[in-house]
Amino acid sequence: MGDRGGSGGPRRRRPGSRPSSQGGSGPAAAEEVRDVGAWGDSPAPDKDKDGDVDVGSGPWDLRCHRLQDSLFSSDSGFSNYRGILNWCVVMLILSNARLFLENLIKYGVLVDPLQVVSLFLKDPYRWPALCLVIVANIFAVAAFQVEKRLAVGALTEQAGLLLHVVNLATILCFPAAVAFLLESITPVGSVLALIVYTILFLKLFSYRDVNLWCRERRARAKAKAASASKKANGGAAQGTVSYPDNLTYRDLYYFLFAPTLCYELNFPRSPRVRKRFLLRRLLEMLFLTQLQVGLIQQWMVPTIQNSMKPFKDMDYSRIVERLLKLAVPNHLIWLIFFYWLFHSCLNAVAELMRFGDREFYRDWWNSESVTYFWENWNIPVHKWCLRHFYKPMLRRGSSKWLARTCVFLASAFFHEYLVSIPLRMFRLWAFTGMMAQIPLAWIVSRFFWGNYGNAAVWLTLIIGQPVAVLMYVHDYYVLNHEAPVAGA
């Protein structure tokens, strides 16, 4: 028996390996194995976790293939496409930079921050939109006084319901009449005032509902009068407010300014105001406001103005070209507006008021269906619709399809309300666009899944909004510019 550690000992050769010229033993054979690993068909030896050559791999260095899928195959399990995402961002920046430079060369610098003031005021000594906002306090106080009298039994539930209906109807009709009839108010001022009144309508609707639910619980628990107020509020925790102790002006105005549409007796509160967080949100608000104004003046306005002639001539190829050209800046401004409103503004208000629930949006950008998008992009409105509209209809025996259709119908009404009245024309483009979401939701859920569904949602967002913008701008242009000329 020979020494196994020596060079003369027997050596087992792997199948498929080539014997050395010296019998497969000794230093020459070892050198040949190293040469094949470094320069032959096999790759260099694997490295360990420290980056050094794995000297323990032995003759396995001769193997360079194994059973595996390509990275782009779905079976590979690979999901790290961060580099491709970065490439998409770079290409997006470069392509839009080219469009922006082309715009600057063609039109020059059109950004004028002072011009924005004229969108809010025609007469610097008359501020009708601001006056409308101040008058809104009357309707809030009226709802509060009705609830105070209902709490002590000075009004019946039927009388209280009638007063609330009249108050809520007036909230919608009064500013609409002022915006439609008063010549000194501008379209932008009208939009802002109507938005405030719409928010007030939704908040007072919720305020009335929650206080009604508290009274109903208290009535069911009047056998235990001592604990009725605790049951009405859903608990007896230390420091919480119970019905009817919540009926104060402090509580009402906290709710009116809080970034939510759904009333509660006890909102979640954050422990303190984070000054750095608040400062970042305020700086974002200032910067993004200027950015949106600049993009609208420099990019959107010239494109819209150049779209009027193709509409007048009914040149469909040019109309489609202008539509696609408008889609990019419109969608970019919409995305900036989303971040500005739902992240910067609402978080700033919530931080100032120490409002704890900061879920103002969810991951709508991953929407694979139209329904998922509408349920996740605007959480305050979605919560209100679910709590005060959708679920009450289901409890009354309505089907889910009917309840969902009614929710879209209400949303379509408010979209048209906020557009047609400030423009003083009724074309129902916004209403039609919202109601079209119902068949669109069915089509996307029926024929598109996964990434295809997500692409379909993005396509409707990018193309759908510019269509509505061009429709309203064209009709407004014809109504206010061409009609007087034709009459002359």
| Residue of 263, 169, 162, 154 lying closest to 211 (CA atoms) | 263
**How far is residue 179 CA from its own chain's centroid?**
28
Confidence check: pLDDT of 177 > 50: yes
Which tokens sit at 349? 């208000």
N-term to C-term CA, the chain: 121
329-340: average pLDDT:
91
109-130: average pLDDT:
72
pLDDT category, 32, cuts 50, 70, 90? Answer: very low
Q: From CA 320, how far away is CA 301, in angstroms rounded?
A: 17
Contact (CB, 8 A) for 216 and 432: no
pLDDT in tens, 458-474: 999 888 888 888 888 87
Q: From CA 272, how far away is CA 352, in angstroms rounded?
A: 9
Surface-to-core class of residue 252, CB atoms within 10 Å of its CB (0-12 exposed, 13-18 middle, 19+ buried): buried
Catalytic residue among 164, 388, 415, 474: 415
Q: How many residues does the chain have?
A: 488
Confidence check: pLDDT of 357 > 50: yes
pTM > 0.75: yes or no: yes
Which tokens sit at 413? 């009404």
Surface-to-core class of residue 128, CB atoms within 10 Å of its CB (0-12 exposed, 13-18 middle, 19+ buried): buried
The count of other CB atoms within 10 Å of the CB of residue 364 is 17
Contact (CB, 8 A) for 466 and 327: yes
Q: From CA 331, how far away is CA 337, in angstroms rounded?
A: 10
Question: What's the pLDDT score for residue 165?
Answer: 96
Scan for tokens 């080539």, then name that residue: 18
pLDDT category, 479, cuts 50, 70, 90? Answer: confident
The count of other CB atoms within 10 Å of the CB of residue 422 is 21
pLDDT in tens, 208-221: 999 999 998 888 87
Question: What's the pLDDT score for residue 174?
Answer: 95
**C-alpha angle 173/208/238, rounded to 5°?**
145
3-state DSSP helix/strand/coil % of the chain, to nearest 5: 70, 0, 30
Name every residue whose Cβ is closer than 8 Å to that of residue 417 and which is 6 or more positions away in sequence: 172, 176, 194, 198
Q: From CA 437, how far away is CA 197, in angstroms rounded?
A: 25
Portion of the chain with pLDDT greater than 70, in percent: 80
Scan for tokens 């000054």, then name that residue: 275
| pLDDT greater at residue 99 or residue 357 | 357
To the query of whether residue 415 is one of the catalytic residues in this protein, the response is yes
Question: What's the pLDDT score for residue 481?
Answer: 65
